[in-house]
Amino acid sequence: MNKSARWLISVDIGSTFTKGALFSEEQEQGLILVKRASTPTTEENLSTGFNILLADLRQFLPSGAINPIIEVSSSAKGGLGICAIGIVPDLTLKMARNVAFSAGAKILSVHSYKLSCKDIFDIKAKNPDIILFTGGTDGGNEFHVRHNARALSNLQLDVPIIFAGNQAMRDEVASILENKELVLTENILPEIDKANPEPARNTIREIFLSKIIHGKGLDDIVSITGTLPRPTPLAIFEFFKILPQYDSEWSDFCVVDIGGATTDVYSVSSEASMACDVIFKGLPEQSASRTVEGDLGLRISAETTAEALRNDPNTPYAARTIYAKDIDAYVRKVQTNKEFIAKEEAVQHFDSLLAAVCAKLALVRHCGIKEYVYTASGPVAVQKGKNLSSVSRIIGTGGFLSANKDFNLESLIVEIKENNSKSVLEYLVPDSSDYWIDNEYLAPLAANIFHHNPEAAVKFFISKITKA
Amino acid sequence: MNPRIVLGVIGSDCHSVGNKILEGVFSRAGFEVINLGVMVSQDEFIDAAIETAAKAILVSSLYGHGELDCAGLRERCVERGLDNIIIYVGGNLVVGKTDFATVREKFENMGYDRVFSADCDLSEVILLLTNDLKLDKNE
């Protein structure tokens, strides 16, 4: 082996498995995957499993090798959970959700208009890692912000609160919440048509690093690695966001990640592909975005997924009738057994049916909608949300999609488009996409280390995914 | 502090030129205009007014079917917490030739504070709005 510039170890601590990879960075060949390993996640103390994995990977370092850089991501212990507060559901509250998702978090609850005692009670019960408190454009709504600050002052929970709302209310909010851990940042929606997610995203990241790591038992790991961990979905989001910069063939794509508890969809689309001949309504869209569907998954969320499966008109007749009871029994079994891997064909088929519904619904929910409105001057197209119709590539990742090469994602897109043609609403999913599979489930591992050598990381990842 | 007003063309109406003119004229007159553009629903007007704490909603309608689109806006404002917000409506509000006094009465009964025809003098509108907002502040 040539004398490599660096050795990198990438570790992703999932809720079930702690997975890792050892990379060597060569001058000419770029990143080379030397060894992969996996060990069950040790929830009581994450560093136990981490150390086992590290020892396993270290064995493959040649003697005399420079100390490797170790980067860690984690979605263990529920990942990063946020309760979001805003005013109008379609405006600041929706923006708050988007910001939380793009910061790699899971939304535990959303609260609009005035917080009631029940809202405060619910927030306490959810026990979030962070409260994202927004509302009002700058110089705008004060009434709801004041009321909600007062309500939050009664919350008996030791949790950081980020205020990312009406900046004219900063001083008053700071005063009302002076006994709380409050961080003030810029408004996520300073004007009705101006989205400003970055400052709040950065604040979420900083709080994760300074506070949450300790609570999740990751600080032992930090003292070993000397590097700062990140939530897994954030690492993945940041990686996909920069893909276009290093490979122009990947300027418009989306990613579907079906997990046990959630299905995540990421999309990256260049400005040009955001529709120009339609009237656009709603919040301004970001070119890179992530959505998370907490009711669509193959294990913990299997029950809600099965319900969606029953209600989907495209579900095969047999699955809705003859096998319905078998599917229900299967779902009940796997809901509490997140490590279950289907071995028998019949059961694997159930997983495929559930996965199909996860992928289809998650994509539909992520994409925007186009509606033709009949006006006195003829039909006019009105769009709400993101237009992904010109996206030409979809990557499938996550445990299930990486392992199931035969999964026919393209046929699901066809189903959605057929349903589109029968209704006045058009879901703006990709028109015709090539499906690429992340065969070795490398997305989180590549995502962790990309910032050390983005060009090599992108090249490496693209070389490993294959067209279905 | 410039007074904030929400502006838009209501319903399935996509006439946009007049809307742009209004935005320019009101901005220059010292208002902070939140222009929602065309094909704006009642809820969109109200959503924006809530988030921005706007003092007035200015509804335009040019395609003649305004009556249907405009009905219920005041009630909706009341339901959603904007009981006393100032609402103006202007444009080609009805189809065909109708005596404007009748049109005005119809829309005022719907809860609109002031009603304007398509050929109204905008400087007059600005004067009236400025006064209405001053009175509003003094209440």
Residue-by-residue DSSP string for A285-352: PPSEEEEEETT--SSTTHHHHHHHHHH-TTS-HHHHTTTHHHHHHHHHHHHT-TT----SHHHHHHHH
For residue A275, the model assigns a pLDDT of 58
pLDDT attached to residue B60: 97
Residues in chain B within 8 Å Cβ distance of A373? 12, 39
Separation between Cα atoms, residue A446 and residue A236, nearest integer Å: 8
Do residue A376 and residue B12 have CB atoms under 8 angstroms apart? yes
DSSP A212: I
Cross-chain Cβ contact B51/A92 below 8 Å: yes
Q: Do B53 and A91 touch (CB under 8 A)?
A: no
* Sheet architecture: strand order including A105-111: A105-111, A80-85, A130-133, A161-163, A182-184
pLDDT for position A346: 79
For B51, the closest of A136, A373, A377 (CB atoms) is: A136
- What pLDDT is recorded for position A276? 65
pLDDT at A274: 57
A188 touches chain B (CB under 8 A): no
**How big is the CA angle at A14 (ends A97 and A335), to the nearest 5 degrees?**
80
- Which tens digits make up the pLDDT trace of A106-161? 999 999 999 999 999 999 999 999 999 999 999 999 999 999 999 999 999 999 99
- What pLDDT, on a 0 to 100 scale, did the predictor assign at position A186? 98
Interface contact B67, partner A, CB < 8 A: no
Name the DSSP letter for residue B15. Answer: -
Q: pLDDT value at position A279?
A: 87
Low-confidence ranges of chain A (pLDDT < 50): 1
Per the annotation, the verdict on B13 as an active-site residue is: yes
**DSSP for B93-135?**
-SSS---HHHHHHHHHHTT-SEEEETT--HHHHHHHHHHHHHH
Please count the other Cβ atoms lying within 10 Å of the Cβ belonging to residue B67: 16
Residue A212: left if φ>0, alpha if ψ -120 to 50, beta else—which one? Answer: alpha
Coil/strand/helix, residue B23: helix
A369-375 and A69-74 as β-strands: parallel, antiparallel, unpaired?
unpaired
Contacts of A380 in chain B (CB under 8 A): 12, 14, 39
A374 in reach of chain B (CB within 8 A): yes
Rg (CA), chain A: 23
Instruction: Nearest by CB to A373, from B1, B4, B39: name it.
Output: B39
Say if residues B51 and A192 touch (Cβ distance below 8 Å).
Answer: yes
Residue B96 binned pLDDT confidence (cut-offs 50, 70, 90): confident
Which pLDDT score, from 0 to 100, does residue B133 have? Answer: 95
Q: CA B139 to CA A460: how far, in whole Å? A: 67
Please state, for a pLDDT cut of 70, what percent of chain B lies above it.
Answer: 99
Q: Which of A166, A170, A174, A96 minimizes the C-alpha distance to A138?
A: A166
Using an 8 Å Cβ cutoff, are A86 and A110 in contact? yes
Phi first, then psi: give them for residue B125, nearest 5 degrees: -60, -45
